[in-house]
């Protein structure tokens, strides 16, 4: 049988139809007007570097994204940076007003390490930075919108990067010290209904920033640096979890966990099921297994493959660092919930040929992933609209990790701009529908977060890709925010706690429901 990646389009279409029909057989699309469970929460998310601006305002110091975009301006697609971005440092009240317009239960945002600790360490706390986040939190609480606070969303202080960043094992203490400052400064306020997220998307931090060059700091040392980063990051996260659990939980009553990025990896056919499982264990099992499995530690297949490759390549030990027994126990169970950022699905086939440099991450995996050409997607080349993959992912999390509470902390779709964004609406409805299928089958999913509240600096893509429910006019000094059609649809979903595929909004005016 010819491999499907080389097959004619008609065969690929037929295979996709089989996959879709299989999905519908397992979890058929239910009737319109599907209700969400009682107590289910809806929100939207942003991240500090992507929206705040004020890159050097009021004592804030340089982070790795400031450093990269200032020293290599065209490292981003449009040669732009986050110096001003959405100017949320000054316009946070408008951001909260948008959350009110949508009727959100919560707003997820992140805190800038370099804005709080200008030296990177707790010897000096920047009061202006603390005041900014106090103002934002107070504004949210004023309107009964719960803050979901991400401690680290990719913007490491440049000083720490120059000392090795996430490949330096001392960062476990640096991150713990920083996190303790946040608990002390904001825990009383956030305790209204505390949700702390320690780290956003470890895989992107480590693989893209350290293994390759697609995120700052762009070290591009694959097969080594991403593994060092992964171990240190997991230990740092666990330290912070236990600090909160032992020192703050009793008085602040909060919830703390980590957010992982996890896409679905579908085998190209039954002959590639093992390759798809291996890829999955490397891509997000690397972080989920140490925390959520009963045994802890890195996934067995990952340990075995990296050790074997390392030995064959002449290394005296595995390139994948080992956890001590104490570290395994410290990391295992160190999250109150499974924070999940999910966007898309890939097809996977085994690939043991020497297509990759060795040592390297994908040479260790011996599998490749791709999107069929006919799959429809967004402005981002990696983002295809494949809702059934979301269902399969949520089901696997339930089955593999004893059905942990799942918080969907990001899910969204990119366009090139414009207020009529029907493709985004189709995406949201499809993914929410599959999430409801998983809930009906027993998955313990408790919240859903749209990415993003508004357009923002989309990392290496600059401002060329737009994920916002609200469009931001970057030509305007006021950074005017205007609701897209999807904002009206999302508002109705939040208002009715139901998913109605037939709803067509009146987009003439966005108002605030004062009853919220």
Nearest Cα residue to 140 out of 183, 184, 188, 100: 100
C-alpha distances in angstroms, 354 versus 301, 303, 361, 367, 427?
Answer: 20, 20, 13, 11, 37
Are 377 and 384 contacting, i.e. CB atoms less than 8 angstroms apart?
yes
Q: Say how many CA atoms lie within 13 Å of 190 toward its Cβ.
A: 30
Q: Which two tokens mark 32?
A: 């319109």
What is the rounded end-to-end Cα distance, in angstroms, of the chain?
A: 58
Residue 201 is among the residues annotated as catalytic for this protein: yes
Residue 410 is among the residues annotated as catalytic for this protein: yes
Nearest Cα residue to 247 out of 338, 183, 304: 183
> How would you class 399 by CB atoms within 10 Å of its CB: exposed for 0-12, middle for 13-18, buried for 19 or more?
exposed
CA dihedral 203, 402, 36, 196 (to 10 degrees): -50
Q: Where are the alpha helices (DSSP H) in 72-219?
A: 88-102, 113-116, 127-142, 158-162, 171-190, 202-203
Question: What is the rounded CA–CA span in Å between residue 456 and residue 65?
Answer: 14
Count of residues making up the chain: 516
CA dihedral 468, 470, 476, 478 (to 10 degrees): -110
**Catalytic-role residue among 52, 146, 410, 465:** 410
β 481-483/470-472 pair status: antiparallel
Are 93 and 149 contacting, i.e. CB atoms less than 8 angstroms apart?
no
Question: What is the rounded CA–CA span in Å between residue 196 and residue 199?
Answer: 9
β 146-152/106-110 pair status: parallel
Nearest Cα residue to 439 out of 411, 408, 417: 408
Q: Where are the alpha helices (DSSP H) in 383-512?
A: 387-400, 422-440, 485-496
With vertex at residue 98, the alpha carbon angle to CA 342 and CA 415, rounded to the nearest 5 degrees, is 45
**Catalytic-role residue among 52, 139, 146, 201:** 201
Query: What are the residue numbers of the active site?
Result: 201, 410
């Amino acid at each position: 049988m010819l491999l499907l990646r080389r097959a004619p389009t008609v065969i690929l279409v037929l295979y996709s139809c089989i996959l879709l029909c299989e999905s519908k057989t397992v979890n058929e699309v239910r009737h319109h007007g599907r209700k969400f469970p009682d107590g289910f929460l809806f929100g939207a998310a942003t991240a500090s570097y992507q929206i705040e601006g004020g890159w050097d305002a009021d004592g804030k110091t340089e982070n790795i994204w400031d450093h990269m975009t200032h020293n290599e301006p065209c490292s981003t697609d449009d040669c732009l940076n986050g110096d001003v971005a959405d100017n949320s440092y000054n316009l946070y009240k408008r951001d909260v007003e948008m959350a009110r317009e949508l009727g959100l239960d919560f707003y997820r945002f992140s805190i800038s390490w370099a804005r709080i600790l200008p030296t990177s360490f707790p010897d000096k706390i920047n009061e202006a930075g603390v005041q900014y986040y106090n103002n934002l939190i107070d504004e949210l609480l004023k309107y009964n919108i719960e803050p979901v606070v991400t401690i680290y969303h990719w913007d490491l202080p440049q000083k720490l990067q120059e000392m090795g960043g996430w490949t330096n094992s001392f960062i476990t203490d640096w991150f713990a010290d920083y996190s303790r400052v946040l608990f002390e400064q904001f825990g009383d306020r956030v305790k209204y209904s505390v949700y702390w997220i320690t780290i956003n998307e470890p895989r992107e931090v480590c693989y893209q920033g350290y293994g390759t060059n697609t995120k700052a700091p762009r070290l591009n040392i694959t097969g080594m640096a991403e593994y060092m980063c992964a171990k240190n990051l997991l230990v740092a996260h666990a330290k912070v979890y236990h600090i909160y659990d032992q020192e703050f939980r009793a008085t602040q009553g909060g919830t703390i966990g980590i957010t992982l990025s996890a896409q679905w990896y579908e085998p190209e056919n039954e002959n590639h099921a093992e390759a798809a499982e291996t890829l999955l264990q490397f891509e997000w099992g690397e972080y989920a297994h140490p925390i959520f499995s009963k045994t802890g530690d890195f996934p067995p297949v990952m340990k075995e493959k990296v050790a074997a490759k390392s030995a064959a390549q002449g290394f005296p030990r595995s390139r994948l660092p080992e956890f001590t027994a104490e570290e395994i126990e410290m990391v295992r169970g160190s999250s109150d919930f499974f924070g999940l950022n999910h966007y898309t699905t890939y097809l996977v086939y085994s690939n043991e040929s020497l297509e990759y440099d060795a040592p390297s991450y994908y040479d260790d995996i011996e599998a490749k992933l791709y999107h069929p050409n006919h799959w429809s997607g967004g402005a981002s080349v990696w983002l295809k609209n494949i809702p059934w993959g979301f269902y399969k992912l949520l089901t696997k999390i339930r089955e593999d990790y004893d059905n942990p509470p799942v918080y969907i902390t990001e899910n969204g779709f990119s366009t090139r701009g414009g207020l009529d964004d029907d493709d985004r609406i189709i995406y949201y409805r499809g993914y929410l529908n599959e999430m409801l299928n998983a809930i009906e089958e027993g998955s313990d999913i408790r919240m859903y977060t749209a990415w993003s509240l508004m357009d923002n600096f989309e990392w290496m893509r600059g401002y060329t890709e737009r994920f916002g429910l609200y469009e931001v006019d970057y030509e305007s000094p006021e950074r005017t925010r205007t609701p897209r059609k999807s904002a009206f649809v999302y508002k109705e979903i939040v208002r009715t706690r139901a998913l109605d595929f037939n709803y067509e909004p009146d987009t003439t005016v966005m108002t605030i429901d004062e009853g919220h």
